[in-house]
Structure 1
Amino acid sequence: MQPLIVTPDAPSAADREAILDVLVAYNDEAHGPSGHEPVAVLVKHPETGATIGGLWGRIVFDWLFVELLVVPKEARGEGIGSRLMAEAETRARARGCAGIWLDTFAFQAPGFYTKLGFEPFGKIDDHPRGKARYFMQKRLPD
């Protein structure tokens, strides 16, 4: 049986999960259990309790990848981003991670991450055109 190659106009969350399940199974078989663990540190509205920002990431093998980080516009400059990252770092240390990595665009927050001890390890120029995307890491001491 020859598999079909399909390009859906609106891929679903279930499609992503199906791909991820196959990849995690492969990685676990090739290297041992990855310990694929989601990490969330949420910013909640004080009255409604709705999530209005936060950090979303995942620990895979020995590193925490910060996939998403956003502070609500009205709360920026109050140290919330630093608190989110500090909590994520605490979680990473508790899980024995070697470090934390992330990516950010030039128009987002590379300077913010540098102040937190992150160092660039890669860059894509013209992503988006005229700007850059940075890949940054912070090693955690043993």
Structure 2
Amino acid sequence: MTVERHWRRDEDVPAAVLEDIRHGVLLHGRQQAQGSDARDIAVALFQDGELLAGGWGRTEFQRLYVSYLWVREDLRGQGLGGDCLRQLEAQALRRGCVDALVETLLDDVSELLEHLGYVCMAHVHDYVPGFTRHIMLKVWTPRD
């Protein structure tokens, strides 16, 4: 009995399938590392029901991984991004995290992160044309 296989590409791959692929990769990696305690972490600032700023990521293996930090465009430069990050860090510390990892393509954000105690562990110049990828780490308690 022959089973027919076929490829789907680009927009022919449903969003649910993309999520299955992402989940499969994460599950495989966590099985290799063993002991994963991954939990989503998030914070959002509202005024009159309107979202002003927020952050989202996860904690896992005693590390805060910040995936997204966002501030509404007209409110940028007022410290709300730093406030969001400090809120995430406080939650992560309560969960027992010993450090935090953030990546950004924006030089001004990397400078802000340095001001907030993060150190650039690596950068890839021209990661996207005109942008450098900064991998930033903040250590609260050194690992063994």
> TM-score by structure 2 length?
0.81
Could you tell me the percent identity over the aligned residues? Answer: 24
Kindly tell me: are residues 52 and 6 of structure 1, through their superposed partners in 2, closer, same or farther at Cα, counting changes over 3 Å?
farther
After TM superposition, the structure 1 stretch with the greater mean CA deviation from structure 2, 27-36 or 112-121, is: 27-36
What CA distance in whole angstroms lies between the structure 1 residues aligned with 2:37 and 2:58?
Answer: 9
Kindly tell me: are residues 3 and 57 of structure 1, through their superposed partners in 2, closer, same or farther at Cα, counting changes over 3 Å?
farther
- Give the deviation of 1:92 after TM superposition: 1.1
The CA deviation string for residues 77-113 of structure 1, in whole angstroms up to 9 with x for no partner, is 3221121111111111111112111111134511110
What CA distance in whole angstroms lies between the structure 1 residues aligned with 2:9 and 2:64?
Answer: 30
Counterpart position of 1:40: 42
Matches within 5 A, 1:48-127: 49-127=49-127
The CA deviation string for residues 40-93 of structure 1, in whole angstroms up to 9 with x for no partner, is 11122x22x133431111122221111111111222232211211111111111
The residue type paired with residue 125 of structure 2 is: D
Counterpart position of 1:20: 22
- Give the deviation of 1:5 after TM superposition: 5.0
Kindly tell me: are residues 124 and 10 of structure 1, through their superposed partners in 2, closer, same or farther at Cα, counting changes over 3 Å?
farther
What CA distance in whole angstroms lies between the structure 1 residues aligned with 2:130 and 2:30?
Answer: 39
What CA distance in whole angstroms lies between the structure 1 residues aligned with 2:139 and 2:25?
Answer: 25
- Give the deviation of 1:10 after TM superposition: 6.2
- Is the Cα–Cα contact under 8 Å of residues 53 and 84 in structure 2 kept in the other structure? no
Kindly tell me: are residues 2 and 65 of structure 1, through their superposed partners in 2, closer, same or farther at Cα, counting changes over 3 Å?
farther
1:129 aligns with 2:121: no
What CA distance in whole angstroms lies between the structure 1 residues aligned with 2:28 and 2:5?
Answer: 18
> TM-score by structure 1 length?
0.82
Matching residue within 8, 11, 14 for 2:10: 8
> 5+ unaligned residues in a row in structure 2: which ranges?
none
Q: CA RMSD in A?
A: 2.4
After TM superposition, the structure 1 stretch with the greater mean CA deviation from structure 2, 125-134 or 78-87, is: 125-134
> 5+ unaligned residues in a row in structure 1: which ranges?
none
